Structures are given as structure tokens and as C-alpha cells.
Amino acid sequence: MPPIPDSATNDELVFALVGPIGTPLDRVETHLSIQLAHCNYRRYPIKLTDLMQGLPKRPWKDLGKFVGYKRYDEFMTAGNKLREFLERGDALSMLGVAAIR
């Protein structure tokens, strides 16, 4: 592999991994991280569900009480409520953008 120019190490890349429940995105993330490391990139994973749990109001601050299907339903319902509350279909993606900045 040719050497990576210094200017390339200051460039930012953003990848969004999205998939249905049960998709092994962690494996995709691991392989992607390994390949990007060859080009001197580091990963900083952001999970939208984690960001939602950090919101100070209910129901978002109370997320994570359940396991299995109930957990999935809890988070999907909370995401829907956030979109309704903010009257924005892109509310969760805006959380991600704010975390990147």
C-alpha cells in the first residue's frame, strides 16, 4: 500500500450504519474500523439510542428498563414520541449531527 499523505489524516469521514433489528452491525463496524485504521482513521461510534437515553425528559431518560422484544419496542416508541414532540421526522438524525459537532 502506498504511504498515506499527511493531509489525508485531517479529513473526516462519517458513516451511518442502519439495519433491521438483529442485523450484526457490530461485525460490519469492526471490519470497517480495521480497514479505516490502515488509512490512519479512528472511529468514534455514536449510537442514537444512547443519545436518546441522555435526554432529560420522560420517556427518554427512563429508557433501557426492558430486555428483548420489550426493549426494542420501548426504543421504537420513544423515537416516535421524540419525532412527534419536536414535530420533525429527522429528530433522531439531528441528535447524531449534534453529537458529531
Residues 39 and 52 in one domain: no
Task: Give the per-residue pLDDT at 4.
Answer: 55
- Name the residue range of residue 65's domain: 46-101
Task: Give the per-residue pLDDT at 73.
Answer: 87
Task: Give the per-residue pLDDT at 9.
Answer: 55
Task: Give the per-residue pLDDT at 83.
Answer: 93
State residue 38 phi and psi, 5-degree precision. -60, -20
Distance from CA of residue 83 to its chain's centroid? 16
Residues 41 and 53 in one domain: no
Over its C-alpha atoms, the chain yields an Rg (Å, rounded) of: 17
Q: What is the mean pLDDT of the chain?
A: 85
pLDDT tens-digit series, residues 61-97: 788 888 888 888 888 899 999 999 999 999 999 999 9
